Structure 1
């Protein structure tokens, strides 16, 4: 998955596709160029509005901009959780939506119509979250501002810390953290009053993170890390000034604020947390969850439909285990193959973190030789491989971060290795296809290189982003990467995870499933042990986020099959991939319309 902190902002502002919002012309070729005399002015209005929208979005959630590769806002922390700021943002979104309605899409070029349609859906879907008080749940074990800033401290993550200006930007953010913490505590107190609180299990998983951030001195604080790495090229005056500034801010402001937060969570919030697991237990929770489902899938699918799709996919994948099991020496029930594999020492060969990284690096080189047969459109930005910082390893999942827009930072695949001896090798190939090449890196790095409005370059939607990465995993078979039955089972098991998520996520949030029920289902279905807990708690913390993977991948597979059947010998897999990736991130309905236009043109 991608690591984007905007997941908690307004239910993601780049939210659900309102299918009715797409222009009527979306399903047929658009005019080559605007024909009206006022077309240039219309286009200028749209571009100005899009720029204003992105600026508002980036100032509202500047960490989201940083995570998405835009470092222009790295000195800002944002206070999107403050009720007054949130109200102002929604008022601004309504103004933007009204201004957009005055623009006539028929006067725009095809490219600008795409921008119009996507901006229309983002604005209207973001506004669907206004009734839901997400700001009263400002943190969880998956996503919190203090931990994000702590992970930035090494200067290797999304926020660079290498120049004097970058040192000052990071310190600026850290200096704004106490105000954010106090607002978060106030919000959580209001949530306690209104019955809008986290499940107790999530609080128990979150508390140790904040306790780990506590320090006895500023020098031992994780936020002081940049000072210990001051570049030799800095002047003596800059070194002295930055050292003193970091020490004062951390000791006088940050350390007391972190202590307040940890004490509040342990003493007040934990006892007030809820025993229920799903979102439907919250006031208005069912409608709230439905808004998130629409946001994360860009469809109008109902939770019950998604649950059924998940069960069907689980059964399909498990049927393949019946064939593969005997090849690995397993002769039990097909559904038990993953659990059996999880107990076989031969699939856990690692002793050190470096050994894990070495396998990924060899795979990276191998893919460089195979991918040209499937892709002609590839990013210029390199892909780097790194280990997840120690602070967040316990709750993090393997993920990818986008390259910087200015080319100063590569795309990064972060692998989470808590214990090398427990790191299985059977799923490594499919994981790298997803997080690295040709998954997230080929999509998100390309987006940074396209001439797109900022709201598209640094935004997107989950169904396309994760759907593409899951689809990319399936290409391993075509490249001959799954000839080892264990590797193919690893691939299928990861696909089974995404199918199981459809079952578990909807089960938790609409069907009354308990945390324990979900853990048992995932353990029995996937062979997971400790991971079943962390996965379940992820879905509890990020309702519907995990749905986009499978729903998006199924759509891309469907479109490929449609194009293959329609074009026959004229079908080119390289061209199909170019069509899917060449216009950046699209809601699934707009992607489908684009592929259909390509099919129609190619058949002529």
Structure 2
């Protein structure tokens, strides 16, 4: 299996830093050792390198920085898909790796040793992708720069639009977009030549998004939206200047958008591969293994993950056998999701506002309950909003980070395409995951811990999504799942995450087809629409969906280990503080940290 980094090496290094022997050293002696070993110059050298590395990443993918709450590069889109720029970036990663290896880790502070290990892990991960031509797949139904920028046009997403400077920043991105679109077409043509294309099915799903971006006049374009929502406080001169400049930029952008839509429909989609998994492209099996390693921060093979998924599916369906009768269902456990999906009482909504009202009420309940479980809480607020209409058909409910400067809260986005089809049973567990204490407690807190920028605005999916899925399980302890319907919703969402382990590895490592995957998901989950959209999501993002369950299983394993080892000494708020308190970590480093904490508690 392609490995980004030998996890045992990192874990051993962190275990040394977290060693219980250090905890047993008398404080005075320990202080003497630290003062003799730690070098301010070495720490300064490391932090300078860490900041250089992050800024290089942010300039390479400035829209990614915006998404993560860093608004310093909001006037750039970058050209990461250009082969020459991509080559330069990988050369930078190799240079940063050499410079990092020249720094004496032993002379860093304890926190900077953690930062060092995370940076080493990230660089190894990034370099592991150099052999694989991801730039030849610049668009999908899940992820594309023109749609992301279109969603920014409302001013309600990650890019703020409240000042003249911010309006100019977004305008500058629009001016750069035609060149990016033309480069994307060049890349996709190269992919057609070399056999590296997206699956045809997901591009058919994506095509309407790009066709909607083409407008007959500037005023009809979604990118012109900021002009129609200009703050009243702007001066008359600024309003006139911005209106004129936006009209010119959008006018110049429209031909490029039309070229893209025409190319996708007439050339790219007909040439796209009819296969499903990434293994079908040249060197695709190794590429998928690199993505699995990235998503899970483990050395687990796709085959091992597939087996874990099958076992988890069976376990959860065993829970369904106990729960079904409480809901009035007495059929086979595997049929419970289908039965629930057919009960009108679980689809009570007629309007979007009715859906939002349930989330607002739940938000208030959690404000009362969560302080008993957490002593480490983010200062940033959580806002609740509806997904913009453009991306509603393909998006899932999700969270976006607050702005680092506190100007924008974290946001839970609910995707309500048809209120009458929005199921009520999954709302509690969804909010625990996407809102609090899931993504909001973790991601917002990351910006408040005093971490270097590469960690404040970065991370890995296994910890991020693993924490959010673990956070769902806390609903039971807060008595939020006393209602059998809400507990079903939790189990059903957990079943989805377990099913992902089966079908993602099935498609990309075991040769499953799209149709086979959809059928397995229908049989297991009972939701036809979700089966199609989720299958196509995994086709577009190979390996990403594995992170949730693998990460959650590790956090739950560490909690059980701590509870068994500490008995009455175990404190749930203290455990949560240990998991979240040093920010996002690869799972091996998190395990070493919790093992050290357990040892510390045992000697007290």
Q: What range is the shorter-chain TM-score in?
A: over 0.9
The aligned residue for residue 229 of structure 2 is 229
CA distance in 1, matches of 2:144, 2:596: 42
The aligned residue for residue 137 of structure 2 is 137
CA contact (8 A) 1:35 1:107 kept: no
CA contact (8 A) 1:23 1:105 kept: no
Q: How does 1:364-379 map to 2 (within 5 A)?
A: 364-379=363-378
CA distance in 2, matches of 1:334, 1:20: 40
The aligned residue for residue 454 of structure 1 is 453
Runs of 4+ that moved beyond 3 A: 15-18, 30-38
The aligned residue for residue 27 of structure 1 is 15
Q: Does 1:156 align with 2:156?
A: yes
The aligned residue for residue 116 of structure 1 is 116
Q: Does 1:46 align with 2:34?
A: no
Q: How does 1:57-456 map to 2 (within 5 A)?
A: 57-251=57-251, 253-456=252-455
CA contact (8 A) 2:11 2:588 kept: no
1:23, distance to aligned residue in structure 2 (A)? 6.6
CA distance in 1, matches of 2:435, 2:45: 37
SS at match of 1:66: helix
SS at match of 2:447: helix
The aligned residue for residue 560 of structure 2 is 561
User: CA-to-partner distance for each residue in 1:265-285, whole Å, 9 max, x for gaps?
Assistant: 000001101110000000000
CA contact (8 A) 2:230 2:239 kept: yes
1:142, distance to aligned residue in structure 2 (A)? 0.1
The aligned residue for residue 538 of structure 1 is 537
1:438, distance to aligned residue in structure 2 (A)? 0.3
1:36, distance to aligned residue in structure 2 (A)? 4.5
SS at match of 1:73: coil
SS at match of 2:72: helix
SS at match of 1:72: coil
CA contact (8 A) 1:17 1:295 kept: no
CA distance in 1, matches of 2:265, 2:150: 20
The aligned residue for residue 498 of structure 1 is 497
SS at match of 1:71: coil
CA contact (8 A) 2:38 2:106 kept: no
CA contact (8 A) 2:347 2:421 kept: yes
Q: Which runs of 5+ in 2 are unaligned?
A: 23-29
CA distance in 1, matches of 2:106, 2:130: 30
CA contact (8 A) 1:462 1:549 kept: yes
CA contact (8 A) 2:462 2:551 kept: yes
User: CA-to-partner distance for each residue in 1:511-540, whole Å, 9 max, x for gaps?
Assistant: 110001111111110111111100000000
1:42, distance to aligned residue in structure 2 (A)? 1.0
Give the aligned CA root-mean-square deviation in angstroms. 1.3
Q: Which runs of 5+ in 1 are unaligned?
A: 1-10
Aligned pairs, number: 590
User: CA-to-partner distance for each residue in 1:135-191, whole Å, 9 max, x for gaps?
Assistant: 000010000000000000000000001100000000001111000000000000000
CA distance in 1, matches of 2:109, 2:132: 36
User: CA-to-partner distance for each residue in 1:453-497, whole Å, 9 max, x for gaps?
Assistant: 000000000000000000000000000001111110110000000
Q: Is the alpha carbon distance of 1:452 and 1:16 closer, same or farther for their aligned partners in structure 2, counting shifts above 3 Å?
A: farther
The aligned residue for residue 25 of structure 2 is none
TM-score, normalising length from structure 1? 0.96
CA distance in 2, matches of 1:23, 1:347: 46
1:35, distance to aligned residue in structure 2 (A)? 4.2
SS at match of 1:565: helix
CA distance in 1, matches of 2:107, 2:146: 46
CA contact (8 A) 1:214 1:258 kept: yes
1:17, distance to aligned residue in structure 2 (A)? 5.5
1:319, distance to aligned residue in structure 2 (A)? 0.3
1:108, distance to aligned residue in structure 2 (A)? 1.1
CA contact (8 A) 1:23 1:117 kept: no
SS at match of 2:348: coil
CA distance in 2, matches of 1:383, 1:222: 27
SS at match of 2:237: helix
The answer to which of 39-48 and 468-477 deviates more is 39-48
The answer to which of 323-332 and 87-96 deviates more is 323-332
CA distance in 1, matches of 2:376, 2:109: 23
The aligned residue for residue 7 of structure 1 is none
CA contact (8 A) 2:382 2:409 kept: yes
User: CA-to-partner distance for each residue in 1:515-569, whole Å, 9 max, x for gaps?
Assistant: 0111111111011111110000000000000000000000000000000000000
CA contact (8 A) 1:155 1:226 kept: yes
CA distance in 2, matches of 1:16, 1:484: 44
The answer to which of 406-415 and 35-44 deviates more is 35-44
CA distance in 2, matches of 1:52, 1:227: 36
SS at match of 2:311: helix
CA distance in 2, matches of 1:419, 1:403: 28
SS at match of 1:350: coil
CA contact (8 A) 1:381 1:410 kept: yes
CA distance in 2, matches of 1:373, 1:119: 34
CA distance in 1, matches of 2:424, 2:123: 43
CA contact (8 A) 1:439 1:468 kept: yes
CA distance in 2, matches of 1:17, 1:36: 31
1:574, distance to aligned residue in structure 2 (A)? 0.7
CA contact (8 A) 1:51 1:455 kept: yes
1:45, distance to aligned residue in structure 2 (A)? 1.0
1:329, distance to aligned residue in structure 2 (A)? 1.2
CA distance in 2, matches of 1:310, 1:172: 46
CA contact (8 A) 2:11 2:592 kept: no
1:24, distance to aligned residue in structure 2 (A)? 3.6
CA contact (8 A) 1:18 1:124 kept: no
1:25, distance to aligned residue in structure 2 (A)? 3.5
CA contact (8 A) 2:38 2:109 kept: no
CA distance in 1, matches of 2:168, 2:256: 20
Q: Is the alpha carbon distance of 1:17 and 1:443 closer, same or farther for their aligned partners in structure 2, counting shifts above 3 Å?
A: farther
CA distance in 2, matches of 1:91, 1:459: 20
